[in-house]
Amino acid sequence: MHHEQYIQRCLELSLLGKGRVSPNPMVGAVLVFEGRIIGEGWHKEYGGPHAEVNCLASVKEEDKHLIPHSTMYVSLEPCAHYGKTPPCANRLVQEQVKEVIICNTDPNDKVDGKGINILKQAGIHVTTGILEAEGRWINRRFFSMQERKRPYVILKWAQSADGCIAPLDRSRYQLSTPHSQQLVHKWRTEEDAIMVGYTTALNDDPQLTARLWKGKNPLRIVVDKNLQIPTTHKLYDDEAETWVLNSSKSGREDNVEYVQLDFNENIIPQLLDKLYSADKQSLIVEGGAKLLESFISAGLWDEARVFATEAKLSNGIPAPKLQDGVLAEQTPVGSDVLHLYINKNNPYPFMPGYEL
């Protein structure tokens, strides 16, 4: 059906904003006149113009007179609020587009049906729900913040052919191949925050930046209850912001934020609350085994990206066991195989065919 083809294009365009628009959603728009695309646009960066505005701006001078006879396809309900930009719904009314076809409605309190009402009241025909599940999957991080009031949580680890995540002495040991490592750095540019546990930070001294890919570094988070990790460790360098979760200290020192939590209670829900308040819409957890398991046992994870590697450790620390995980996809990455597991309670079901 035509509608699906154009919304599909909107979704593809929206993905060009990946890693640049958070905490906003990724949004794409196309303008169609009698079976011809006369404009395309997407939300390119946080604070910048919305997809519909960029789409209208892309229409050639000689096609401008066609706008009132055209259909606007957009992957998210046009906004109704004065935010960083004026409301898109009003703009579409002003341009007198004939019809608006939408993938997802916008759960943001400031919009939430109001955009659609503005259009309908102006006599514009509106259709919603085209490729809705695909849109919810693509914008799962945004929807998680709006609907569940918590960031979307991704677990990531590599395991040996014999099911171990690290040597018994917990020393740093590279299991996955350079190809997988680069993919992991790409992922880092796409999530708002990245986290490791105390032992991993102390022993491996990871930097947790996206230095092998082009894009932004995520907020780094480390658990260090008693502030024992030397500040000469890389997590304290000035390449990115860092949150140090601890039991005694709060406040900011340069790029380091000391975040005091109650360690007598489970710290995972406390952290997710803090991330929500800070508008961080996703978290990728990169180990070690103990931290990953604490997310799993709390049921506070949404997807797990597990590299099955050819390396053998024979005697090592067993990889975490996912409860409630459903294997959704297996993809070769060099000589590793990436297994994607989705939590069966994840309200944003996996849709194949879109990059993660």
Sites for Zn ion among residues 23-52 (CB under 5 A): 50
Could you tell me which of 186, 221, 242, 207 has the C-alpha nearest to residue 19? 186
Is 13 a binding residue for ligand AOF by CB under 6 A? The answer is: no
**CB 343 to ligand AOF: min, Å:** 25
Rg (CA), the chain: 22
> Is 40 one of the annotated active-site residues of the chain?
no
**CB 104 to ligand AOF: min, Å:** 10
Is 19 a binding residue for ligand AOF by CB under 6 A? The answer is: no
Could you tell me which of 202, 2, 195, 3 has the C-alpha nearest to residue 102? 3
**CB 160 to Zn ion: min, Å:** 48
317 contacts which partner out of Zn ion, ligand AOF, none, CB within 5 to 8 A by kind? Answer: none
Q: Which amino acid would we find at residue 313?
A: L
Sites for ligand AOF among residues 74-113 (CB under 6 A): 76, 78-79, 83-85, 88, 106, 108, 111
Measure the CA–CA gap between 204 and 318, rounded to whole angstroms. 18
Measure the CA–CA gap between 254 and 166, rounded to whole angstroms. 33
The contact mask relative to Zn ion for 67-106 (x = CB under 5 A, - = no) is: ------------x--------x------------------
Measure the CA–CA gap between 72 and 37, rounded to whole angstroms. 10
Please, what sign has the CA dihedral across residues 155, 195, 348, 329? negative
Full DSSP string of 88-115: HHHHHHHHT-SEEEEEE---STTTTTHH
Sites for ligand AOF among residues 225-284 (CB under 6 A): none
Q: Which stretch binds ligand AOF (CB under 6 A): 45-53, 130-138, 289-297, 305-313?
A: 45-53
| Site residue total, ligand AOF (CB under 6 A) | 17
Sites for ligand AOF among residues 123-182 (CB under 6 A): none
Q: Any residues with CB less than 8 A from the CB of 257 and at least 6 apart, and which?
A: 241, 242, 243, 244, 251
8 vs 180, beta carbon nearer ligand AOF: 8
User: Which of the following is catalytic: 52, 77, 191, 257?
Assistant: 52
Phi, psi of 301 (to 5 degrees): -145, 155
**CB 166 to ligand AOF: min, Å:** 39
Residue 259: burial class (beta carbons within 10 Å; 0-12, 13-18, 19+): buried
Catalytic residues: 52
Note the residues at the interface with Zn ion (CB under 5 A).
Answer: 50, 79, 88
Note the residues at the interface with ligand AOF (CB under 6 A).
Answer: 24-25, 27, 43, 50-52, 76, 78-79, 83-85, 88, 106, 108, 111
